[in-house]
Amino acid sequence: MTRMTGRLSGKVALITGGGTGIGRAIAVLFAREGARVAVVGRRKDKLNEVVKAISENGGDALAVACDVTLGADAERSVRETEQRFGALHTLLNNAGALSNATVEGLSEEDWDHVMRVNVKGPFLMSRAALPAMRRAGGGSIINIGSILGLVAMKSRAAYCASKGGVTMLTKAMALDHAHENIRVNCICPSLVETEMVKSLFPDTPEGRAIRDARLAGIPLGRMGKPADVAELAVYLASEESSWLTGVAIPLDGGLSAY
């Protein structure tokens, strides 16, 4: 651990969807870089595993059970973070839901679920976090969007719409809160090797063929790793990016360069 000399030394971060995948990788790296971390999500057992891993390496972490689609839960998670650590400097909105369907293949319930998690969640968490960031003298909100919030693909109607919403929510909040020294940016990954993404490619000849076809469209020739996202998130949470706000950064192996 480099808690005294890390790039995030002295920072307090709240990370939604922090129990698995990208959220877990970010929480662990933030702690390694010196931040005190609240990991937030619905599955307390997974959150506790992350807290244990951080604590065993000398870090300081808190697990908070929370449904990001509920305003009361969002406010409570921020309140518990401030009570434990004394401040909040970084909010990382990572919790998300996938959807693979055209408009005709979507039920109202499916549409509403994707919008609640992917758009309403960041809205509620950001609204809850803003007063705490003002008390801290400023902060950084980092939204995990998607390359599909910048470009589209087939059979992702609700997902593209939701992540496009995250992109524009990022820009709007950046303008609204720049005068308060609160920066808002968005990371837009393409395929990242998480359990959720792996479920898209079953271990069958057809699943492997679909995976290979998707990889063929990525110039760097591989999926991203949770660590790739975590490294960029550290930069956006640190003072190194103090003059950067309102951007949606493609983190896609070159996919959107075509």
**Rounded distance between C-alpha atoms, residue 81 and residue 140, angstroms:** 15
Quickly count helices (H) and strands (E) in the chain: 9, 7
Cβ atoms of 145 and 187 within 8 Å: the answer is yes
Cβ atoms of 220 and 197 within 8 Å: the answer is no
Of 30, 85, 123, 159, the active-site residue reads 159
Q: Is residue 159 flagged as an active site residue?
A: yes
Strands (E), 79-202: 90-93, 139-144, 182-189
Spell out a b/e string for 88-126, using b for 16 or more CB atoms within 10 Å of the CB, else e.
bbbbbbbbbbbbebeeeebeeeebebbbbbbbbbbbbbb
Coarse DSSP helix, strand, coil percentages of the chain, rounded to the nearest 5 percent: 50, 15, 35
Q: Which amino acid is at 189?
A: P
Q: Which are the catalytic amino acids?
A: 159
